[in-house]
Structures are given as structure tokens and as C-alpha cells.
Amino acid sequence: MNFLATINFSDIFKSSFLDNVASVSILDMVIAVVLSFCLGLFIFFVYKQTCQTVMYSSGFGITLVALTMITAFVILAVTSNVVLSLGMVGALSIVRFRAAIKEPLEIAFLFWSIAAGIVLAAGLIPLAVFGSIMIGVVLLIFVNRKSHFNPYIIVLRVADSKAEKAALELIGSKVKKYGVKSKSVTKGLTELNLDIRLKDENTDFVSELADLEGVESAVLVSYNGDYMG
């Protein structure tokens, strides 16, 4: 108690705590915040252009911008003080993120935002800018490739083996390649699931399939490897 009573405001001001205020210059702060905001916007733009769902999540895009800026000023503070860096490691070790990631590509964007903030705050500005540009170009090229390169599933329901043979012959002449994934047979009805690759973006052959004699229905759906939709 006597020790605590002897501590006054003058002792606090004499400590090295306030010396850390000047350890990061105002210019460094401004450059880090502005550049991290610009890189975050660029990451947001690439995410919006490469989003594979019909409705992209604007909230997730804004999170990418904020995450880049937050990472930048946290790393900027950590690099200016060794004691603070040890405390930051302990603080972050108890943080748990439980938000569900809907698309595997979103993980890449999260790591991209964090990496851009770290590299930028470390003073490697050319690496942060050049690396972000290259990553953005690669994502724009490979994610936005033509849709007919992607696999599709045809769900085909036919009445007999004759209709099945005619449908398979038509599919073989219209697509690049195909394979039977499953076949279910009941009395008077056969259901086929076929994995196909289109030659181009023309899908008019599905209507031709439905018009064949003995074909009950023909459904074409996109396939990403995890689910059909």
C-alpha cells in the first residue's frame, strides 16, 4: 500500500510509456493508412469482379478493406516497440474467429488483405503494391475464365433403354466429353446423372434432349465439385 501511495502523476510522466508516442512519425502513420486503404479498395474491387455467386457480399468486401488497414497499423505499432509486440502476440492468441467461410476463394482474399497490411507496415511498399497487382491479375484471369470450361451435370430421366441410347448419342455429339456419374433404375423409369464439358456456351441441345421420344425430362445444372446449383 505504501508503494502504491508513492506513485503519482509525475512518476507516470517520467516513465518511458509516453516516449512510445513519438516512436512512429506522423508521416509514417499517414502513408500506412492511406496506402492500406488504397490496397484494400483494390482487393475489394478484385473480389467484386471475381465473386462466383450471383449476389456478392458487400459486407465481406468492406471487411477486406478494414482488415488491410487494421493489420497495417497493428504491425506498425508492433514494429516500433518490442514489449508491445510480445503483448500483442499474447492478446491475439486468445482471439477466436467463428465466421463461416462460404467459398474457398474467400480464404485467399482474407490472407491477401492480412499479407498486404503486414508487408505495407513493414515498409516494403513496392512489394506490397507489385504483389497485390500480380495477385489481382492472376485472380481476374483464372477465376473469370469462360463458363463452358466449367463442368456441368445433366440429370436425365428416360423411359427405356432405347431412349437412353438415343439421348447418350445426342449428348456425345453436342459436348466435348461426358461421363456417367450415377444411374438409378425403377420400373418404367431410368434416371442418369452425367458429368459433361461443353464445347462452347451453347446449351440448346438440352431442349433437343427433352424432345426425344422416351425422354421424360432433361435438366442442366452447374457443378463446382461440392454441390449442384
Query: Using one digit for the tens of pLDDT, what is the confidence trace for 39-51?
Result: 999 999 988 888 7
CATH 3.30.70.260 intervals, the chain: 148-222
- DSSP class of residue 214 equals T
- CATH of 148-222, picked from 3.40.50.300, 3.30.930.10, 3.30.70.260, 2.40.180.10, is 3.30.70.260
Which residue intervals of 51-160 are DSSP H helices? 58-80, 82-92, 104-121, 125-143
pLDDT surpasses 50 at 228: no
The pTM of the full predicted model, rounded to 2 decimals, is 0.61
Taking the C-alpha atoms of residue 28 and residue 43, their distance in angstroms, rounded to an integer, is 22
First to last CA, the chain: 69
| pLDDT tens profile 186-211 | 877 888 888 888 777 777 778 888 88
